[in-house]
Amino acid sequence: MSDKIKMRVEMEVTKPQAVALQAMFAYWNQLSSMGGSRYVAFFVDGDGNFHPKCDVSFSERMPLLTSKIAEKAVVEDDNGNRKYDYDAIAWAEHNED
């Protein structure tokens, strides 16, 4: 297992969007603490008022996110409805070691 780093995500959202995201993150923590594995989705309403302008930062230097690496994170793409997972990236990193 790789070492943990701090990842910070800052975004501009409405209060209802913040509450929904907070609920999703709470569910992530619940799944994590009970050892559960699920896909968890959030509806991005880009033609509505969801324009978060996410700013992501890390506690240490990260490799450049190339399109090849980003593609490994997509495990399913149904007309833009995507599921993401880190497993393929972790295995690629493991095989490089």
Strand, helix or coil at 32?
Answer: helix
Neighbours of 57 (CB within 10 A): 10
Reply yes or no on whether the pLDDT at 97 is more than 90: no
Q: Which residue has the tokens 């996110």?
A: 65
Please state which of the ranges 40-49, 51-60, 86-95 shows the lowest mean pLDDT: 86-95
Q: pLDDT tier at 49 (50, 70, 90 boundaries)?
A: very high
Reply yes or no on whether the pLDDT at 16 is more than 80: yes
| Strand boundaries in the chain, DSSP class E | 7-10, 55-58, 74-78, 81-84
pLDDT digits (tens, 9 = 90+) for 57-67: 999 999 999 99
